[in-house]
Chain A
Amino acid sequence: MALLEKLQRRASDLGLWYRFIQLLPKLALFCGLIGMAYLALWLPSEGQYRHTYISENALMPSQAYSYFRETEWNLLRGYRAQLELLVNEPVDKKNVILAGWLEEIGLKTAVHKDADHGDSLYGVWHAPRGDGTEAMVLAAPWHNGDGEFNLGGTALATALTRYFSRWPLWSKNIIVVFSEDPKASLRSWCHAYHTSLDLTGGSIESAVVLDYPGANDFFKYVEIFYAGLNGELPNLDLVNVAVHITQHEGMRVSLNGIAESEMEDREYYGKMKQLLLGVRKMALAGVQACYGNEAFSGYRIQSIVLRARGSGGPFDITTFGRVPEAMFRSVNNLLEKFHQSFFFYLLLAPQNFVSIASYLPAAVAFSAAFIMAGLDHFFKGSKSITSGTARSSDTLQTVTRFIACLMTSYAVSQVLLQRNNPHALISVSVLTSMAPLYPSINSNSIAQAHQLKSISFLYLSVVLTSLLVVNFALAFGIGLLAFPMIKIQNTTNSRLRIKNSLLLLATNPFIASCAFANIFETNLSGFDIIRNLVSAWNDLGCWTWFVVCIGWLPVWISVAVSSCYVAEQAEPNYHSSSDCASVKKLD
């Protein structure tokens, strides 16, 4: 206690508290920069990341010999040749024929009808040695995320099912799903499986989505996608198992669709690139092209996508089939749900990761930056209030204004759900950003502007904090894009007002996300991201749209409103010395 007391006295003597308050804007800026640098520059450096390892000993990937080889080759080709004839047939006919094959193999089949998103055929193979309470899913959508016909994938899924069915060692049911697409239709099947379907096979432990478009026999390398909706990731053990098996079979692994030329780059910049790509993929899950693992989010299912890329490489399609085979053997060994390894991680290479404790500070820094900016405006606001006549009724008015901003934002989110018109939204946003150029002439005091900013920054910080663990990437992304907002000042200077306006333009949720998508995501050009955000909520139940609209937009609106107020006098300064003069010590 004595030490604390001494420290407190010393701090008080030096007037540290007042200096701290004065430094708040700079500290906030500093915090944000730290957050950005921490993730992008610090984490990819040597010593900050760890090598992946299989945490659950029961998994034993690639410990058993894989038999999906030459003997299955002709069967697989046979199925593929037959399916190739069906490419242009309607989905009903495909389903009927495929259901016939599956029933021949010994599966129970059913079709999940969904008029809006497309029907899904699925079959359940009851495990000979299990109690039927757990299941593993093998999914092969008819069309993959890029719209190509998933010929190899569906043929492989059928051949693998036949191959699995001849083995007596399964202790978990095997469910094979053929959906129209890997997005809404698979999601709708997954939802129905947990609510309304009659034919079920127990709780699903893992899901592997096969993506092998085209009729080519050979491919170059394997892509793995793992980022689920709403910030969910599969257990790191499952990703590790997939990577381990693929590399064990001699194939190269690319994560999150990184280009072939860059995937072998294990240097600092390569790691940085992979890390940032992973964060982007996580933040935009459901909004970008979906490859299928997103469909299983929210039901405690660990799911990944295996995707064969390139044609004419050294590996043939049965090699690709050995990956799901070995993965199913691994998951089959599990006695408990996946719980050992990490659920929160970022991958910098197929075999390098950082866990939550290491990367969380990056987003915490943004949250802290907004808290500091909020406190700064809080202190400035209370200082100006004591100098003026305004009292609690002013505060009440500010709170009401903020609630109005919140309501407006909610209304915007609902209107866009009904009428998905990004052009109008962007035009309104641009017009609103011009607000500081024409400051309002009413009697609103500068104190209220500070109060409004203080409330909205604290609100944004609460939003970011609550997202930290649920969806780190989104929290980081919003923090990063909204961060310049803290530099907006109340001013009469017309040049600074133009700067305010530009800052508002840059931090508008819709403009910023469109700009971001156009720069970094080649397949989200124009206003696609807004359309996709809305449709991701409608089709997939991905709530990124609401986070943006209810978390970020009200803050932006209220900052825009507050930046219209003009200071009538110079900002009050803090006097540190006079307050400290009266310090008396208690002995």
Chain B
Amino acid sequence: MNLRELQVVAACLASRFGASTVFPLLQQQLDKSVEFSTPVTSYRSLQEGVFLLRNDFPLYSGGVVHHPPLLVAFMSSFNSTNLISLLYACADALIAYQLISMAKCFRNSPLPAWVPGAVYVINPLVLLSSVSKSSVVFSNLAISTALLSALQGNCTLASVSIAIAAYLALYPLLLLMPMLAILQKDKLKTVVVTAATLAMLLFSSYKVNDESWNYLFSTYGVIITFSKIIPNLGLWWYFFVELFEMFIPFFKAVFNLFVISCILPFSLRFYKQPFYAFILCLSWITLTKSYPTLGDGGFLLSFVPFFKPLFGYFRYSVISTLLFIHVSVLSPIFYHLWVDLGSGNSNFFYAISLVYALGLATVLVDLVWAMLRIEYDKGKPNIKLKLTPV
């Protein structure tokens, strides 16, 4: 780890911790915003859980806490606010460090290794997400640990981490599939270790939660069934607000199938480029999950620098940039018009969440197209050649 990389990690730590301590009210503001906080990731509900746990109340009977029991138990061991801010800053800095280490796994990469880390540090979406103390940071950390150890060939750590990520946010379990493609060997072992770790986590949660399985619905059930209908940047909420009661179960199944649908195709089609397949799957999950935040989107965008060789093929880069800028400016405004002033309505905010989805989709489509193009060009970029997708 050279000086520049150390600087990047230190900057990450300092910016996160500094922003939390210098602007203590920022955390509450961000935690109230629908862009950075959802029922399953919000710090407020995590604090509620910590309070309930410390006072020996049942965690999940109130319907407020949707964090897994072990996370609540872990957070309850910290008392001071500064310590917690430091914990989130450290988790974020660790992600930045892991991004740098990932870049080192690719020999003959055109970029210096510190660049993806630096991009992660200056990405305002990730910064604000970390300052809001959203638990997305922990699942992102688990995902990046899994990806890094898979790249380094450490199958035990990779499978343990992906199990933790799945335990924290459920959908990352789907990333096991592209991860198997990265690991190449010990596939059975990976699956077994992941399953065992997950089972162990679930069982210890059962023990922590007063020997009750009710946490399963409050955490994962809520994610799958979207039973807390609260506006967010995702594609689900508006649909289920409007729908007739009897159709809801069917469409919940459809939306969940939608999340799963592209994982296997991506992993198979890009089996030769497993890291790339992993990122595609990650972006697919970010696009289609039930409770997305800008923190997920920011985490995803930090992987784009890894595909520097493909940049020449990107067709919508200006459009996607403009889309992301407009989303981050307009979504709080439209939410304000709808909820605070009452002069707008839900359609305003939903329109913006569609624009966000479009932004993610253009990135995804661009990545797929670029990789197919470079395959067609047999690895030697030939930007001048114009092709039409048929």
Tell yes or no: B385 within 8 A of A by CB: yes
Instruction: Decide: A5 and B390 in contact? CB cutoff 8 A.
Output: yes
Q: A462-B325, A465-B330 are in contact. Are A298 and B387 (CB under 8 A)?
A: no
B341 to chain A: which residues have CB within 8 Å?
A: 232, 298, 300
* Interface status of A166 (Cβ within 8 A of chain B): no
Question: Which of B326, B334, B389 is the one whose CB lies under 8 Å from A469?
Answer: B334
Distance in Å from the Cβ of A134 to the closest Cβ of chain B?
14
Query: Cβ of B318 and Cβ of A469 under 8 Å apart?
Result: no
What is the distance, in angstroms, from B319's C-beta to the closest C-beta of chain A? 11
Q: A335: CB under 8 A from chain B?
A: no
The segment out of B73-81, B187-195, B342-350 that lies at the interface is: B342-350
B329 A232 Cβ-Cβ under 8 A = no
A407 within 8 A of B: no
Give the interface centre of A1, A337, A375, A462 by most chain B CB atoms within 10 Å. A462
Contact call B388/A469, Cβ cutoff below 8 A: no
Tell me, yes or no, whether A86 is within 8 Å of chain B by CB.
no
Q: Which residues of B contact A397 (CB under 8 A)?
A: none
Is the beta-carbon distance between A375 and B318 smaller than 8 angstroms?
yes
Least CB separation from A343: chain B residue:
B343
Binds B, one of A325-333, A531-539, A577-585: A577-585
Residue of A nearest to B321 (CB): A458
Instruction: Decide if A584 touches B390 in the complex (CB within 8 Å).
Output: no
When each residue 325-349 of chain A gets 1 if its CB lies under 8 Å from chain B and 0 otherwise, what string results?
Answer: 0000000000001010001100000
Checking B322, B337, B342, B389 against A470 with a beta-carbon cut-off of 8 angstroms, the contacting residue is: B337
Are B326 and A582 touching (Cβ within 8 A)?
A: no
**In the complex, per-residue mask of B374-390: 1 if CB is within 8 Å of any chain A CB, else 0:** 00000000001111111
Interchain nearest-CB distance for B206 vs A (Å): 46
Q: A337-B342, A465-B326 are in contact. Are A470 and B333 (CB under 8 A)?
A: yes
Contact A469 B337 (CB under 8 A): yes
Q: Which B residues, 300 to 339, have Cβ-Cβ distances below 8 Å to chain A?
A: 318, 322, 325-326, 329-330, 333-334, 337
Min Cβ gap A188→B in Å is 20
User: Which residues of chain B are near A371, meaning CB under 8 Å?
Assistant: 322
Taken together as a complex, chains A and B put the C-alpha atoms of A337 and B343 apart, in Å, by 11
Residue A586 lies at the interface, judged by CB distance under 8 Å to chain B: yes
A-side contacts of B342, CB under 8 Å: 300, 337, 339, 343
B344 near A343: Cβ-Cβ < 8 Å: yes
Cα A233 to Cα B325 in complex, Å, equals 28
- Nearest CB of chain A from residue B311's CB, rounded to whole Å: 13
Q: Assess whether B344 is in contact with A469, with CB atoms less than 8 Å apart.
A: yes
Chain A residues whose CB sits within 8 angstroms of the CB of B318 once the complex forms: 375, 378
A352 interface contact, C-beta 8 A:
no
Q: Could you tell me the distance in whole angstroms from the C-beta of A478 to the nearest C-beta in chain B?
A: 16
How far is B320's CA from A277's CA once the two chains are assembled, in angstroms?
38
Residue A248 at the chain B interface, CB threshold 8 Å: no
The interface residues of chain A lying within 8 Å CB-to-CB of B333 are 466, 469-470
* Contacting residues, chain A, for B389 (C-beta < 8 A): 5
CB nearest neighbor in A for B332:
A466
A5 contacts B329, C-beta separation under 8 Å:
no
Residues of A within 8 A of B334 (CB): 469
Cα separation A313 to B171 with both chains bound (whole Å): 74
A579 to chain B, nearest CB (A): 8
Interface residues of B in 348-390 (CB under 8 A from A): 348, 384-390
Report B-chain residues with C-beta under 8 Å of the C-beta of A300: 341-342
Residues of A within 8 A of B348 (CB): 469
Nearest opposing residue in chain A for B384, CB measure: A582
A153 CB to nearest B CB, Å: 28
Q: Which residues of B have CB within 8 Å of A584?
A: 385-387
> Which residues of B sit under 8 angstroms from A298, Cβ to Cβ?
341
Binary B-proximity of A266-289 (CB < 8 A = 1, otherwise 0):
000000000000000000000000
Most buried by A among B330, B385, B388, B390: B388
- The answer to whether A586 and B387 have CB atoms under 8 Å apart is yes
Please, which residues of chain A bring their CB within 8 A of the CB of B386?
A: 12, 582-584
Min CB distance A377 to B, Å, is: 13
Evaluate contact between B390 and A232: CB separation under 8 angstroms: no
Is A8 located at the chain interface by the 8 A CB criterion? yes
Chain A residues packing against B (C-beta within 8 Å): 1, 5, 8-9, 12, 232-233, 298, 300, 337, 339, 343-344, 371, 375, 378, 458, 462, 465-466, 469-470, 579, 582-587
18 other A-B residue contacts (CB within 8 Å) besides A465-B330, A584-B385: A5-B388, A5-B390, A9-B388, A12-B386, A343-B342, A378-B318, A462-B329, A465-B326, A469-B334, A469-B337, A469-B344, A469-B348, A470-B333, A582-B384, A583-B386, A585-B388, A586-B387, A587-B390
**Pairs across A and B, CB under 8 Å, 7 listed:** A5-B390, A8-B388, A339-B342, A462-B326, A465-B326, A582-B384, A586-B387
